[in-house]
Structure 1
Amino acid sequence: METDGTVEALPIKEPPENDSVTFESAVKIILQWDSTAVRGVMLFDDGDGNEIDQYLEAVDEIQRSMELMAISESHDDDRRKGKGAIQIAMARLEAEFVNILTCPTNPIYSTSSSSSFTDSPNSYYEEDYLDYNPPSEEAINHLRSIVERMDSVGHLRNCVQVYRNVRKALINVRFRCLGIEELSTDNVRKLETEALEAKLKRWIRVAKVCAQVLFPNEKQLYAQIFHGLGIAIEDVYFMETVKDPAIQLLNFAEAMSTCRRSIERMFIILKLHQTLSDLLPDLEVLFQSKSSEAIRIQAAEIFLRLSAAAKEILWKFENAVLGELSTIPVPGGTIHSLTAYVMKYIIRISVYKQTLVELLESKTSMDFRYSDDLKIPDMKFMELGEQTRLALHLIRILVTLQFKLEEKSKQYEDTALSHLFMMNNVHYIVQKIEGCPELKKMIGGDYLKQLTGIFRQAAISYQRSTLASVLNCLRDEGMSYTTTSWSSAERERLKSFNALFKKVHETQAAWSVPDLQLREELRISISLKLILGYRTFLGRCSDAILNRYVKYTADDLETAVLDFFERNPISQHSRNRSDFRTD
């Protein structure tokens, strides 16, 4: 029966003879949309809402009539006519279903040609997917309406299969366009660190897109379309849709977790571990069903292997510092490459503080003492306050570095240069800690004070070693106060001073203090000690001695000290200095 353009549902009973008009009109609507004139036209593609409703109601009417006819022995012709119309309608609805699925509102999901589509991996970015607009509510309603009609005639499983095939193809296309390579464990093992970091950077972006956008949207879309229709295997179909990209993503992480655990790959491992840690809750929700537990279990196992790898590499790093065996002293007492490497490593470790704190607090964490290594000074942990195991481990590495630096300082024949080397390197360590708030917080004030004390003592020892012999020439201890003996002593002291300062000048100019502020502070300190003593001594000398034996003025000394720590041979400077007196 038809009222106001809508078809009312009929009660399930033998239809009256005059109701066959409604059935006939429904069949006619189905056949009209199967005619040659509209064969290539999509009903749901920007179609008239009334026409869509009319078509769906026609399908409903035919199906209701067919159910009534099934309990009647008459209407054989109508049953054949209705069956044919239903077959035509199902083919039409399946085509409409596929069309809607492949042409949602966002072109990023479309396989159709458009200006935004390209096979270049660099054209797709995480932001494109995070801004993804899901199919409109109208599109979802249309898909749901089609599914309900196909379900009513027993075509639901076919519909789900079509859905799976279409969506799987679309997901695979999008995944390929994101530019993830399929790498084996051997491929990963052979990659240089720089190349591996580049691939990891892309993997992280793609993994976030898949776990937080593509896969959840796909699961949600499936639920919106098929929920409540009694499909007990819905998670199986979702799993089949996203299985290939999910497995390929995990294969890269799997290869990383099983490849060699070298020190250079520490931060790649940590970055991957941190990313997987962030994504595991999403993966737990996405793959919570029995059919997809393999993905969930594999991700969890990879995460555990990455945890073990990170801890193992951390221990390897400390052992590598302890085992560093270079015996050639660095020129000029500058920063040793070991010091720079260790501090760079430790600062980078502090970026992953939270991850490593959690790893090291586990029951399988390390014992910080080396019972068979008696050379390294034992750490007084009880005096360092309440530190995390990560902080204690970093301090342990610094103690090991300090021990190695002390060993290397003994490679210098010049005691002053040995102290300068320790001063430079410990100062570098302190400055790096001070410049990294996170690391400074972890290390704590107590150990930082110890390091600062070591630096200051090295600076004092250096100045004493450098200036002691020079300043001794300027003291009046042991000098006789008779005129003849005083003049003779003055002459000998000045000759010794001139010779010793010339040597100090040449030596110190070739040495190095890389830190500009420290360099300036040392020069000022040396100048003050040197010039004060020199002026006092000259004030006691006779004019005859001053006129004949004084080689340097106080200003000359101050200028000469400016050459200190420049790592240049003094001859290059002395050629340009006309104000230094000669014998």
Structure 2
Amino acid sequence: MEDQDLPPPDAAIENADQNEQVVEEPTPVASRVDILSQEIDRFIYVLDGDDQSDSSSPPEIVGSVHIFADLLDFKVVEYESGSKKWIELEEDECSSFVESIDRTAKLLKSLSRFHSADYYPSVINRISEVKQRAMSFMEDEFKSILDDYQTSYDRDQRNETDEAKTPSPSNVDEASETELPDQSESPPEKDEFLGYSGEVTTKLNKLAEGMIAGGHETECTELYFVVRRNAMEQNLKHLQFEKYSIDEMQKMQWDPIEKEVSAWIKIFKDFATSLLPNERRLVDAVFSENHTEISDSLFGNLARIVIFYLLTFAEAVMMTKRSAEKLFKFLDIYETLRDSIPEVEKLLSGDWLYQLKTAASLISTMLGEAIFNILGDLENSIQADSGKTPVPGGDVHPLTCYTMKYLKHACVYRDTLEQVFREHKKIDRPDSATSSDPDPDQDPISDDQTQNCGYQAGPGSAFQLQLAKVMDLLDANLETKSRLYKDPSLSLIFMMNNGRYILQKTKGTGEMRSIMGDPWVRKRSSDLRSYHTNYKRETWTKLLQCLSHEGLSVNGKVMKPVLKERFKSFNAMFDEIHRTQTTWVVSDDQLQSELRVSISAIVIPAYRSFMGRFSQIFTPGRQTEKYIKYQPEDIETCIEELFDASSNQGGKKR
């Protein structure tokens, strides 16, 4: 059937439809629009209830349909012209427009039930044309508002960051005098929505509602996704995040990678705790609780992109060649994923949550294996350190310094390493120190050596056992190296130096001290006392034999030739000890002092007593000077010069 002629909007409202009852008294415009809407709703109800959709006599078009189409078209033209900007509209007007779009979509759906080409062709085309025009307007407004406010926010954020980095001299004094904002206050509303105020998100929500109601859900979500994806990538760029591939990372030196990892950690935490939660708030505000599936899908896609970039970086770092120096950055990445991923998981659901958990779990597992293996490599490196050149002066061996500093730093990550070892201790590592096939070219460390190092296998945490094992291997290696010294006394000084260094580093690190425990510390201290006692016995007991009274007297008379020989032997032996042991090194001041005090305590009283009793036997003058080379004070001065190679280089006069 033919459509009726369409009167102008104003005339249509005044005259209404000829088939409808005319309102005799004037009514407000809002009321007339309400009446018009009710008429359209009744007509839709009639259309939907007609069971003769295939008949030749469907319900006739009511006049209010034409009026409704004209009014909506008029409103779209008004908005398009800019005389009324969407962002400036009152909420009631926005809601009314969205309701009109929803009513239009329902009307078209109901009219389309009648499939014959003779039914409603002109009115369907007319309403479709108005609806399409409205949809185009809403799409343009939706994209424009998303773009404009995001661009403005990005610019402001960059300016604030730049100003914070480079304060001008003129505003330094002003800043010191100006009251700073209270950092404890809640962030501004616009920050919660990434630059969009609550008012703007309300307007965006109305546009989204209208587009979805009008059947343009795909266009709406695609527009939103593209704008927000670009914004997130701009955020990554602004934070100077580089998207390195695994191949690119493999070719880089470690130093620049370390710097990138430090930046990555901050970026990841920022996204997990601030940017992504705000992104979630924004998408929920724009699409509201009526469209949770849409907001879930949009956010999941957006989060997936940025998390994919960040996880790919972590994977690329992990895939670089394994080395000891990388352990701590690997641990930093592991901790960041462990602590931050749950924050992101709270924002996701369904398949998006599953994908994130799967990807993060895979990388965390691979990181854990790498960390576990790096510490296994440390075992191997200690065992493989079979250098045959002894450290000059019996000083602390570089292997000891490196290992203890490494372990000290590792103990800072105690809880994380405990977790890693719990999860990965059962992994077979054919290249580790626990391998059942030892290297035939490597100087083996026997089980007896390991057991004598102070650690007894027993209950303990996985990392505690690993730490103790590394200590045992180091002890055994040092024991082997001590045998490189031909002088047994120097060998003992070497063991004292290294033992003292290990003990002090352990006691000075709260985490390591706690892990190793009091029994281990007591055993170490006991070992040091044994080295000290054995050193005094090896060096100074022989010297004191020269001061023995035994054999000096026959029938109460001192045998002068024997006495002369005793003094000569003492002088020669003491000269040799002094000459040799002033080139030795005891780098720990306290240990150096303890050694000197204990030596003085046994040598000086014995020498003073011996000299006091027998010096008068010699003829005063040249004979006394010939045999009594040292006074007790000279002995004390010489002892104070021991173990200080740096001070005695080039010879030091007494």
Pairing 1:540-551 to 2, within 5 Å after superposition: 540-543=613-616, 545=618, 547-548=624-625, 549-551=627-629
Deviation digits for residues 544-575 of structure 1 (CA, Å, limit 9, x no counterpart): 63743322222222222221111147474544
Q: Work out whether residues 331 and 371 of structure 2, in 8 Å CA contact, stay in contact via their aligned partners in 1.
A: yes
Aligned counterpart in structure 2 of residue 225 of structure 1, from 286, 307, 318: 286
**Shift in Å, 1:223:** 2.8
- Change in Cα spacing, 1:42 to 1:504, as seen in structure 2 (3 Å) is farther
Separation in structure 2 between the aligned mates of residue 232 and residue 18 of structure 1, nearest angstrom:
36
Q: Work out whether residues 343 and 429 of structure 1, in 8 Å CA contact, stay in contact via their aligned partners in 2.
A: yes
Q: Work out whether residues 258 and 305 of structure 1, in 8 Å CA contact, stay in contact via their aligned partners in 2.
A: no
Matched, 1:254 2:315: yes
- Change in Cα spacing, 1:364 to 1:80, as seen in structure 2 (3 Å) is same
- Change in Cα spacing, 1:7 to 1:463, as seen in structure 2 (3 Å) is farther
Matched, 1:357 2:400: no
Aligned counterpart in structure 2 of residue 30 of structure 1, from 62, 73, 76: 76
Give the gaps of 5 or more residues in structure 2: 1-26, 44-60, 168-182, 439-443
TM-score norm. by structure 2 comes to 0.75
**Shift in Å, 1:86:** 4.4
Deviation digits for residues 146-184 of structure 1 (CA, Å, limit 9, x no counterpart): 111222222222111111111111111111222222223
- Change in Cα spacing, 1:403 to 1:194, as seen in structure 2 (3 Å) is same
Pairing 1:358-377 to 2, within 5 Å after superposition: 358-362=419-423, 364=426, 375-377=446-448
- Change in Cα spacing, 1:176 to 1:199, as seen in structure 2 (3 Å) is same
Deviation digits for residues 227-250 of structure 1 (CA, Å, limit 9, x no counterpart): 455575654433443444322222
Separation in structure 2 between the aligned mates of residue 122 and residue 193 of structure 1, nearest angstrom:
29
Pairing 1:389-468 to 2, within 5 Å after superposition: 389-468=462-541
Equivalent in the alignment of 1:488: 561
Equivalent in the alignment of 2:96: 57
Q: Work out whether residues 105 and 214 of structure 2, in 8 Å CA contact, stay in contact via their aligned partners in 1.
A: no
Q: Work out whether residues 90 and 150 of structure 1, in 8 Å CA contact, stay in contact via their aligned partners in 2.
A: yes
Find the structure with the greater CA-based Rg. 2
Aligned counterpart in structure 2 of residue 13 of structure 1, from 25, 42, 45: 42
Aligned counterpart in structure 1 of residue 86 of structure 2, from 21, 24, 43: 43
Equivalent in the alignment of 1:168: 229
Equivalent in the alignment of 2:21: none
Instruction: Give me the identity figure in percent.
Output: 28
Separation in structure 2 between the aligned mates of residue 517 and residue 243 of structure 1, nearest angstrom:
58
Equivalent in the alignment of 1:563: 641
Letter in 2 for 1:279: S
Deviates more, 1:336-345 or 1:484-493: 484-493
CA RMSD of the aligned region, Å?
Answer: 3.9
Matched, 1:133 2:192: yes
**Shift in Å, 1:480:** 1.4
Q: Tell me the secondary structure at the aligned position of residue 541 of structure 1.
A: helix
Equivalent in the alignment of 1:91: 136
Q: Work out whether residues 26 and 59 of structure 1, in 8 Å CA contact, stay in contact via their aligned partners in 2.
A: no
Equivalent in the alignment of 1:300: 361
Separation in structure 2 between the aligned mates of residue 68 and residue 369 of structure 1, nearest angstrom:
77
Q: Work out whether residues 395 and 494 of structure 2, in 8 Å CA contact, stay in contact via their aligned partners in 1.
A: yes
Q: Work out whether residues 426 and 455 of structure 1, in 8 Å CA contact, stay in contact via their aligned partners in 2.
A: yes
Pairing 1:168-317 to 2, within 5 Å after superposition: 168-229=229-290, 232=293, 234-286=295-347, 288-290=349-351, 293-317=354-378
The alignment covers a number of residue pairs equal to 563
- Change in Cα spacing, 1:390 to 1:160, as seen in structure 2 (3 Å) is same
Q: Work out whether residues 86 and 203 of structure 2, in 8 Å CA contact, stay in contact via their aligned partners in 1.
A: no
Aligned counterpart in structure 1 of residue 608 of structure 2, from 522, 525, 535: 535
Separation in structure 2 between the aligned mates of residue 189 and residue 540 of structure 1, nearest angstrom:
78
- Change in Cα spacing, 1:489 to 1:568, as seen in structure 2 (3 Å) is farther
Letter in 2 for 1:404: N
Q: Work out whether residues 42 and 96 of structure 1, in 8 Å CA contact, stay in contact via their aligned partners in 2.
A: no
Q: Work out whether residues 7 and 57 of structure 1, in 8 Å CA contact, stay in contact via their aligned partners in 2.
A: no
Separation in structure 2 between the aligned mates of residue 32 and residue 384 of structure 1, nearest angstrom:
85
Matched, 1:110 2:154: yes
Q: Work out whether residues 101 and 210 of structure 2, in 8 Å CA contact, stay in contact via their aligned partners in 1.
A: no
- Change in Cα spacing, 1:394 to 1:122, as seen in structure 2 (3 Å) is farther
Give the gaps of 5 or more residues in structure 1: 578-583
Q: Work out whether residues 172 and 244 of structure 1, in 8 Å CA contact, stay in contact via their aligned partners in 2.
A: no
Separation in structure 2 between the aligned mates of residue 270 and residue 159 of structure 1, nearest angstrom:
42
Q: Work out whether residues 189 and 259 of structure 1, in 8 Å CA contact, stay in contact via their aligned partners in 2.
A: yes
Separation in structure 2 between the aligned mates of residue 133 and residue 449 of structure 1, nearest angstrom:
57
Equivalent in the alignment of 1:507: 580
**Shift in Å, 1:525:** 1.4
Letter in 1 for 2:466: H
- Change in Cα spacing, 1:113 to 1:256, as seen in structure 2 (3 Å) is closer
Deviation digits for residues 490-510 of structure 1 (CA, Å, limit 9, x no counterpart): 322222222222222222211
Q: Work out whether residues 171 and 242 of structure 1, in 8 Å CA contact, stay in contact via their aligned partners in 2.
A: no
Separation in structure 2 between the aligned mates of residue 266 and residue 133 of structure 1, nearest angstrom:
37
**Shift in Å, 1:294:** 4.3
Q: Work out whether residues 283 and 296 of structure 1, in 8 Å CA contact, stay in contact via their aligned partners in 2.
A: no
**Shift in Å, 1:81:** 7.1
Q: Work out whether residues 345 and 353 of structure 2, in 8 Å CA contact, stay in contact via their aligned partners in 1.
A: no
Deviates more, 1:165-174 or 1:470-479: 470-479
Equivalent in the alignment of 2:631: 553
Q: Work out whether residues 357 and 389 of structure 1, in 8 Å CA contact, stay in contact via their aligned partners in 2.
A: yes
Letter in 1 for 2:426: T
Q: Work out whether residues 327 and 374 of structure 2, in 8 Å CA contact, stay in contact via their aligned partners in 1.
A: yes
Separation in structure 1 between the aligned mates of residue 500 and residue 156 of structure 2, nearest angstrom:
63
Equivalent in the alignment of 1:581: none
Deviation digits for residues 99-130 of structure 1 (CA, Å, limit 9, x no counterpart): 432355896x5368963477x9999xxx9xx9
Deviation digits for residues 56-95 of structure 1 (CA, Å, limit 9, x no counterpart): 4245347647866976999999987766554444334333
Q: Tell me the secondary structure at the aligned position of residue 168 of structure 1.
A: helix
Q: Work out whether residues 345 and 356 of structure 2, in 8 Å CA contact, stay in contact via their aligned partners in 1.
A: no
